[in-house]
A and B are shown apart, each in its own frame.
Chain A
Amino acid sequence: MDLVLQQIVNAVSLGGIYALLALGLAVVFSIVSLINFAHGELMTVAGYGMFFALAVSLPFPLALLLAVSVAVIAALLTERFAFRPMRKADVTGLLLTSFAVSAILRVIFQNGISARPKPVPLPAGLTGVVEIGSLHIGIVPLLSIVTAALSLALLLLFLKHTTLGKAMRAAAEDFEVLRLMGIKANRVIAMAFAVSGVLAGIAAVLWIAQRGSVDPLMGFVPVLKAFVAAVIGGLGSLSGAVAGGFALGILEVLFQAFLPDAALPYRDAFVLSFVILILVWRPDGLIPAPVSRRS
């Protein structure tokens, strides 16, 4: 029983990170039809932001804030200088642009900082476990769950109750009409990137809290997973991204916990096979994006 509960905590905390990342991909995709593979590098940027902030001994909360801020700035800069000039390009052109941005940033990290992992020292308080009855639950997974839940709730409030949030939802359905209302396309798109930056920054902090270091390739694997999660959920659907993120997190933890040792190296193969089964069952994802897009 305890083991099951602990696995549930693990699954939800991992799923939360995937959900944040998948949501970041979905927010941008729903508005500009761009699958931003440079999203992972936003995570990495945030990681280095945290590393440097702590290296100059800024207080921990300030380092977290800085980490998220640099991810937002990086998101806005890539939008302004890489994706905006390519706005008229087709989906393939945008995809290639995002690969290029991703590759350029990785090389900059490797040559400008270091190809090796940089340790990010965490406050001692974070490494402990909480005991609830006979349960031993890590503080980091617990904080991950709380942070992910809080971030999702705040994003929901933003999307539902602010003009810019409503405009982002409207842009996903019919961007042309939104412009007819006088709402600036560039502002809405920049906002979508900023939101994806915030989500990548928060995900980076949670990711680092579990690993304790940052390296140039840090963002690559989680964002690949997030992409899978976004597809499971239904590409372009925000609630789908969240559902897909948690589904993938739960699948990974389940297979990790219950596969026989000999099969463990093939965990991802099992997970992805299961993903394929989900897509055979629901080709448009768990919660498909609501409307067909106008060209």
Chain B
Amino acid sequence: MLEVSGLKVRYGEVAAVKGVDLSVPRGAIVVLLGANGAGKSSTLNAIAGLVPATGDVSFEGKSISGLAAEDIVRQGLSLTPEGRRVFPSLSVADNLHLGGAAHAGGDELKRRIEAELDRFPILRERYAQKAGLLSGGEQQMLAIARSLMAAPKLLLLDEPSLGLAPLIVDKVFELILGLKGKGLTILLVEQNAGRALEIADYGYVLQTGQVVLKGPGAELAQSGLVKQAYLSE
């Protein structure tokens, strides 16, 4: 569904991503692992059009390289950025509204908001509150719900469990599995390699901007490199 080849990202003199190839098949959960600064987030941001990159990204057989972020999401790829980044002074309602406003209007927009409130009952309770007043876990739910308002085919999730309490982390991973169950394809960047590999169909390990290892989730979990580098708590 998503094919990335030779992706390179530079920030001035610094090469953050040095030629990454990866592919995400329809209906799968694919995870990108790696240490801080390995280029995981840069890869996601480049796919979503937030940072300029060279190389080719194609989605459903169509090249989306060089498109602006606001056009890429219209193709059906939605990114939930690292750190949640909800609009803090806007209400939960307005955050959801903006998530869908470019993709649906009128009754369809209302229907989508209703669907997200059903999926995340906590957001219904917080509906009129400012997003900045929500807890970290609630903000993460809101950030994901806001991305889903675009009704994407592929969801790009950047560190959804970062800084959350263990109980909430469980919920987030449950949710991701649930989304897969509903037919969504997911590309996930995670620090929590153990948990991520449990739910991933396929995984890539990035080091200093390059793919150093790839394979099915279960296989990666057994590999020496992953065990040693990311699972050795």
| A interface residues (Cβ-Cβ under 8 A, vs B) | 163, 166-167, 169-170, 173-174, 176-185, 290-291
Contact = CB atoms under 8 A, between A and B. Distances in A.
B88 A290 contact: yes
Interface string B122-155: 0000000000000000000000001101100000
Contact of A183 (B81, B88, B89, B98): B98
Given A169-B87, A182-B102, A183-B102, A177 B97 contact: no
A178 B89 contact: no
30 contacts: A163-B97, A166-B90, A166-B94, A166-B97, A166-B98, A167-B98, A170-B87, A170-B95, A170-B98, A176-B50, A177-B87, A179-B50, A179-B68, A179-B69, A179-B70, A180-B78, A180-B147, A181-B70, A181-B98, A181-B99, A181-B100, A181-B101, A181-B149, A182-B73, A183-B98, A184-B70, A184-B102, A185-B68, A185-B70, A291-B89
A174 B87 contact: yes
Interface in B74-99: 74, 78-79, 81, 85, 87-90, 94-95, 97-99
B89 A180 contact: no
Contact of B89 (A163, A173, A179, A181): A173
Interface of A is mostly: helix
B103 interface: yes
Nearest to B93: A166
Contacts of B50: 176, 179-180
Nearest to A164: B101
A177 B102 contact: no
Contacts of A180: 48, 50, 69-70, 73, 78-79, 81, 147
Contact of A177 (B71, B81, B101): B81
A163 B101 contact: yes
B73 A181 contact: yes
Contacts of B73: 180-182
Interface string B48-82: 10100000000000000000111101100011010
A182 B87 contact: no
Contacts of B149: 181
A182 B100 CA distance: 8
Contacts of B78: 180
Nearest to A182: B102
Contacts of A163: 97-98, 101
B208 to A, nearest CB: 24
A167 B70 CA distance: 13
Given A163-B97, A166-B97, A179-B70, A173 B88 contact: yes
A180 B48 CA distance: 8
